[in-house]
């Protein structure tokens, strides 16, 4: 019964000169998200609107994954004259389930040539609805439903209260980031949070086939697909660490294995990021959860590269992260029992507070450059 979805965006308005760029990014993202639906995203007099021909449930679900949308209203578009407005208001009321017992009407007159003022329009619509629906009452303070009327020069919009969108900033307005995606619960959530702040994601995953199963690779692709919906397309690089892990195991002290592996993963990530002009890395680390996530460990690991590393989960605990993962839709994939970077290489007693000079000494016994080159040159790219 509705003709369009009216989109509201919040933070974009605050960004002054960049507004045009933000708006066009949002519109592009919406268009990508709505590919394959019978709809059209248009910009008209400072508003973004999706013209539709049915399929509202499907379209609303997809728009829920476009960051930057603060709220959405399904609207009826009619002739700018009172009879049509009355009829639409009644239809919207009839569509409410359960039937409201109180309401108010709110109006905005953009077209000043329209014969009635905004308060007059609200008054007339209110009076009409009261007459047709004798059980209905007006409550201007806490109405169960608000009927909005907006009169423009060629048409009028009639709609009820807005539903919340995902909020945040349109993906892409704050640059690009490379997410280190494992098969676990945390890293997909970190990626989601980065996207919410307007960062367009690429993803890198490290595996160690044949030490690990092909299934863990499929699991990561499934996770990346979920993230891709918020990112409006995603590029996944899969890097095989088997040879590097073998070398670490052979040549370096057992207790530094995790620290060294993570340093090398960061180096590979930095290379991938630089060659794609990506400005930052994003990881799912949270402070103090496991041995490698002490401040000492993070310092020594982060020392391996000269690039910004964002850790959006730094201050979150496991329960919060799991809840978020359930809402995003990655939790049930993450808990499938396939290892990624092989636990067979894990030391029995990993060092929790590594000293930088010791780690550097341990690392220096191997010339890593050829191994890193090989890993980067042989990576597999999956476009989602």
Interface positions with another protein (CB under 8 A): 209-214, 246, 249-250, 337, 339, 342-344, 346
Contact 201, 282 (CB under 8 A): yes
Find the shortest distance in angstroms from Cβ 256 to another protein.
Answer: 17
End-to-end CA separation in angstroms for the chain: 34
Nearer to another protein, 127 or 346 (CB): 346
Between CA 264 and CA 382, with CA 257 as vertex, the angle to 5 degrees is 40
Find the shortest distance in angstroms from Cβ 214 to another protein.
Answer: 7
Instruction: For 105, list phi and psi in degrees, rounded to 5.
Output: -115, 135
Nearer to another protein, 147 or 220 (CB): 220
Nearer to another protein, 40 or 243 (CB): 243
Nearer to another protein, 10 or 184 (CB): 184
Find the shortest distance in angstroms from Cβ 343 to another protein.
Answer: 4
Find the shortest distance in angstroms from Cβ 334 to another protein.
Answer: 16
Find the shortest distance in angstroms from Cβ 210 to another protein.
Answer: 4
Instruction: For 41, list phi and psi in degrees, rounded to 5.
Output: -95, 125
For the CA atoms of 24, 25, 31, 35, the dihedral, rounded to the nearest 10 degrees, stands at 160
Nearer to another protein, 48 or 342 (CB): 342
Asked if the peptide bond before residue 225 counts as cis, ω within 30 degrees of 0, the response is no
Strands (E), the chain: 4-8, 39-44, 47-52, 71-78, 102-109, 137-138, 145-151, 156-159, 163-164, 176-180, 200-207, 235-240, 280-282, 308-310, 380-383
Between CA 242 and CA 339, with CA 214 as vertex, the angle to 5 degrees is 70
Nearer to another protein, 52 or 334 (CB): 334
Find the shortest distance in angstroms from Cβ 360 to another protein.
Answer: 24
């Amino acid at each position: 019964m509705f003709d369009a979805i009216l989109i509201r965006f919040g933070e974009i308005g605050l960004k002054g000169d960049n507004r045009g760029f933000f708006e066009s990014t949002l519109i592009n993202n919406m268009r990508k998200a709505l590919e394959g639906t019978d709809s059209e995203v248009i910009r008209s007099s400072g508003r973004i609107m999706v013209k539709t021909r049915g399929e509202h449930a499907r379209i609303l679900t997809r728009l829920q994954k476009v960051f930057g949308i603060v709220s959405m209203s399904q609207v009826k578009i009619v002739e700018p004259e009172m009879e049509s407005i009355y009829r639409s208001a009644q239809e919207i009321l009839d569509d409410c389930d359960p039937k409201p017992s109180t309401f108010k009407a709110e109006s905005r007159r953009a077209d000043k040539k329209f014969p009635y003022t905004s308060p007059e329009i609200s008054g007339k619509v209110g009076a009409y609805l009261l007459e047709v629906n004798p059980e209905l009452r007006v409550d201007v303070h806490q109405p169960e439903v608000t009927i909005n009327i907006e009169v423009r020069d060629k048409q009028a919009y009639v709609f009820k209260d807005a539903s919340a969108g995902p909020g945040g900033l349109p993906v892409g307005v704050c640059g690009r980031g490379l997410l280190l995606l494992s098969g676990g619960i945390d890293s997909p959530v970190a990626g989601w949070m980065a996207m919410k702040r307007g960062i367009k994601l690429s993803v890198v995953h490290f595996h160690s086939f044949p030490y690990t199963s092909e299934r863990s690779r499929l699991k990561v692709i499934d996770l990346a697909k979920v993230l891709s919906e918020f990112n409006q397309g995603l590029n996944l690089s899969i890097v095989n660490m088997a040879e590097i892990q073998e070398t670490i195991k052979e040549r370096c002290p057992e207790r530094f294995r995790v620290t060294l592996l993570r340093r090398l993963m960061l180096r590979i990530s930095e290379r991938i990021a630089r060659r794609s002009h990506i400005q930052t890395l994003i990881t799912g680390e949270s402070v103090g959860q496991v041995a490698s996530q002490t401040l000492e460990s993070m310092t020594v690991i982060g020392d391996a590269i000269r690039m910004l590393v964002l850790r959006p989960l730094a201050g979150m605990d496991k329960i919060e992260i799991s809840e978020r993962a359930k809402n995003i839709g990655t939790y049930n994939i993450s808990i499938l029992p396939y290892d990624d970077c092989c636990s067979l290489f894990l030391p029995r007693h990993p060092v929790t507070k590594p000293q930088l000079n010791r780690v550097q000494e341990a690392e220096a016994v191997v010339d890593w450059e050829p191994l890193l080159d090989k890993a980067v040159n042989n990576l597999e790219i999956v476009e989602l």
